[in-house]
Amino acid sequence: MAKLDEQIKTMAGYFAADCEADGRLSLVLEVEHFITCSDGRAANFAAVQAAVQDMQQQADAPIIVDGTYMGYSGLAASVTMGSACQLCLTLAPQRDVQDMMDLYNRLYLQMGLALAAHGLRAWALGCHPTTRAEALPLVPRTRDEAMDRYFKNTGSCGTQMMRGTAATLLSIDYFDEMDFVRKMRVASLLTPFFALLCDNAPIYQGSRNSMCSVRTRIWQDVDHDRCGVVPHLMDPDFGFARYAENVLTKPQITAWRTGRVKAVGSKTAPELYAAHLSQREAAQILSNFFYDVRLKSRIELRAADSMPPRYIAAYAQLVKSVFGSPAALQNVLRHYAGITTLDITTAKLAVCKDGFNALAYGKPISSELTWLLMQARSRTPSQEERALLDPFMALVMKRKTIRETENYNE
């Protein structure tokens, strides 16, 4: 117990050190893209690898994992390969959504040209557009191979999650521990709404899909120890230390040992590491957990599918408007006072089952989405920024998801 207590204290100290003291919200955008051959066949790892190398500029630093090239990192953005050759475009922190989208669109165009030169193309969808997940090979990386083995014994959807899903991830700053708790709770309460607004999986396991929020459904059956709603989120003592305790006392799967990632199965952090965790060890621990809303150096919101740019912009503006306003955050917490972690899980499952006909926290989800978007619009100062929310407003008015709205018959 003494070792665990020291690890909790050390990790909580890292969380405190990551607070952004200036009180101005920035966003980090990450968008995962499926890569296929131009005719829809599954992409070859070497071809994807070559395309990414073509994108890399002289000033960018290569990312080498287990002796293999997996992408690159630059000042403005990084490009990395996912478990089954998904390409993740990660942008440097941005305060303005339009600036973010301009950077993303330039990088996306660069990616498209590099892929086309190798007979490949990118797809911004929540589930793989052409192939069953089981037919997609993993990239040669210890972490992915270890997780793939481990998830076979924790749920029925680990294979689909790793190979057949892609997300739009947004990470936000927190300013102190109280702000961290408030934003974690609000982001978790809003997860069912984000899952519906960002539902973009027209194909699932190689066939046309009519199920709602199928990527959310997949994540519910991967591993209860590290997915879903953060444990103890609504407890009065939830904070940095409680989050640290959650991740330190669960199986780690992989660990940072002797300068590299190694598979460690079900051992916990106190069994693997010394009492005083290094920052690199703490980062490895945090990377092994995939809560709907998780903490790394920022708070990461994970509910959204990979989407077309105008919906990414709508999502980013919604998050900026709500999480950049203390008043909006307090309104959400008041509006959903008394909601439990079980209630959040129930609302997610209702969305997966009933879509826009679902009840969320006992209320029709369409009316709750309208209320949420009005909260965002009232705290969005410029007409240009408010216009970025219009694609979501249109979805709610039509009671249709992105999956049902976009034309994917290519």
- Quote the tokens at residue 126: 């929540």
Question: Which long-range contacts (C-beta less than 8 Å, at least 24 apart) are formed by 334-342?
Answer: 335/371, 336/189, 336/361, 339/189, 339/234, 340/234, 341/188, 341/229, 341/230, 341/231, 341/232, 341/233, 341/234
Q: Average the pLDDT over 219-228 and give the result.
A: 97
Mean pLDDT of the chain: 96
> DSSP for 324-371?
T-HHHHHHHHHHTTT--HHHHHHHHHHHHHHGGG-EETTEEHHHHHHH
- Determine the Cα–Cα distance for residues 39 and 202; give it in Å rounded to an integer: 18
3-state secondary structure of 34: strand
pTM for the model: 0.97
Q: Indicate the pLDDT class of residue 410, thresholds 50, 70 and 90.
A: very low
Q: Which residue has the higher pLDDT, 24 or 119?
A: 119
pLDDT tens for each residue of 224-273: 999 999 999 999 999 999 999 999 999 999 999 888 999 999 999 999 99
For residue 408, pLDDT over 80 is answered with: no
pLDDT tens for each residue of 304-321: 999 999 999 999 999 999
pLDDT at 131: 95
Task: List, in order, residues 6 or more apart from 323 with CB less than 8 Å away.
Answer: 25, 172, 183, 186, 187, 329
Q: Average the pLDDT over 40-60 and give the result.
A: 96
Q: Average the pLDDT over 31-46 and give the result.
A: 96
